[in-house]
Structure 1
Amino acid sequence: MDKVLFLYSSREGQTKKILKYIESELASSDCEIRDLHDVTSIDFSQYSKVMIGASIRYGHLNKKLYQFIDANLAQLKANNVAFFCVNLTARKEDQGKDTPEGSAYIKTFLKKSPWHPKLIGVFAGALRYPRYNWFDKMMIRFIMTMTKGETDTSKEVEYTNWEKVALFANKFEKM
């Protein structure tokens, strides 16, 4: 049985939810899920594969992700490690925003990061207005207005395409 490590950086929990779904798709693997923000060091040799999921907030990945990459670059490059990004722009599948090639966030990540993962995914996240504080609610509503998205602050909308996540899990399993 493969031992797999899942690391996540998430603000509202959708990235972790996606990893839990991927875990359910990897029936023949023993999966461990850890918050990237709580990790100090990892021995990658304990795992056959590693997956890192990170969410975008206000156009940026969390700086802790880049710090983790810098601290673990040699291990990331030497092992089977996949990466996926979660953001609300990826809801625009008809515009290709849900692909590594069409995601401005992945393009920025690949420019800023010395690590270029073998397998990259991009998934739409969830809009959780009732859970946000006042400032975040207003800022996200403003962004959604500009991008022609949901602006009703009483709603929660999950945009994640679970079929696409399952396909990514299958590719990861074959790495």
Structure 2
Amino acid sequence: MNTLIVYASKYGCAEKCAELLSKELIGKVDIINLKRVSDIDISKYEKIIIGGSIYIGKIQKEVREFCSKNLDKLTEKRIGLFICGMQEGEIINTEFSQNFNPELIRITDVKEHFGGEFIFDKMNFMEKIIVKKVSKVTSNKSNILENNIHKFAQVMNTI
């Protein structure tokens, strides 16, 4: 089966997670960064995985636009959704419901939070101040949840 992973990433965490995920999937896997490619023919894929990073409660507009533009076609596919971010607990479910169409969530085979990163070298001055104040983090921090990526891949491989 052909699988497509589409994502958007501001600092690269969602891209890292998409790459890690692709290595665990069976069959042909294509990965597309929605910030670079917007016109995608999804008809040749049976499985589509959509993901991105959450910033201030929002996923990138490229992900929202892809889902909106392709919603009718996506209902005919096996779907996986992932988000990246440093959030924890119930906030994760809220962010899925606030960032993905309810119809898309309803037909989703698997959804998962893959963790996140704070990479200060890639942030502008204001972003650094906000992260330090809100998250109480003062240096680079990576919390990519490889076990969640592995569990997600296992589900996608069995559908």
Asked if 1:128 is matched to 2:127, the reply is: no
1:109 Cα offset (Å): 2.5
Q: In structure 2, how many angstroms separate the alpha carbons of the residues matched to 1:53 and 1:70?
A: 14
Q: Give per-residue Cα distances to partners, 1:131-173, cap 9 Å, x unaligned.
A: 211111111212203xxxxx22xx2211112112101111111
Name structure 2 gaps, 5 residues minimum.
none
Verify the 8 A CA contact 2:80 2:156 in the aligned structure 1: yes
* Equivalence for 2:40: 42
RMSD between aligned residues: 1.8
Aligned counterparts of 2:120 and 2:93: Cα–Cα separation in 1: 24
1:22 paired residue number: 21
2:63 to 37, 62, 65: 65
Q: 2:148 matched to 1:173?
A: no
> 8 Å contact 1:86–1:125 — kept in the other structure?
yes
| Deviation per residue, 1:100-146 (Å, 9 max, x gap) | xx532113225x5542223211121011122211111111212203x
Q: Work out the percentage of aligned pairs sharing the same amino acid.
A: 20
Q: Is the 8 A contact 1:66 1:113 kept in 2?
A: no
| Number of equivalences | 157
Q: TM-score, normalization: structure 1?
A: 0.81
Point out 4+ residue stretches in structure 1 off by more than 3 angstroms: none
Report the counterpart of residue 53 of structure 1 in structure 2.
Answer: 51
Question: Runs of 5+ in structure 1 lacking a partner?
Answer: 146-150
Counterpart contact for 2:117–2:142, Cα < 8 Å: yes
Aligned pairs for 1:7-156 (under 5 A) are: 7-26=6-25, 28-90=26-88, 95=89, 103-110=93-100, 113-116=102-105, 117-145=108-136, 151-152=137-138, 155-156=139-140
Instruction: Give the secondary structure class of the aligned counterpart of 1:135.
Output: helix
The secondary structure found in structure 2 opposite 1:51 is: strand
Which structure carries more relative contact order (alpha carbon 8 Å, separation 6+)? 2
Deviation at 1:96, TM superposition (A): 5.5
Structure with larger Rg: 1
Q: Deviations over 1:30-73 (max 9, x none)?
A: 21111112333322221121111111012211222222112111
Residues 1:162 and 2:143 aligned together: no
Q: Cα–Cα, structure 1 residues 173 and 107, in superposed 2: closer, same or farther, change >3 Å?
A: same
**C-alpha distance in 1, partners of 2:132/2:58?**
17
The aligned residue for residue 148 of structure 1 is none
CA separation in 2, counterparts of 1:37 and 1:72? 16
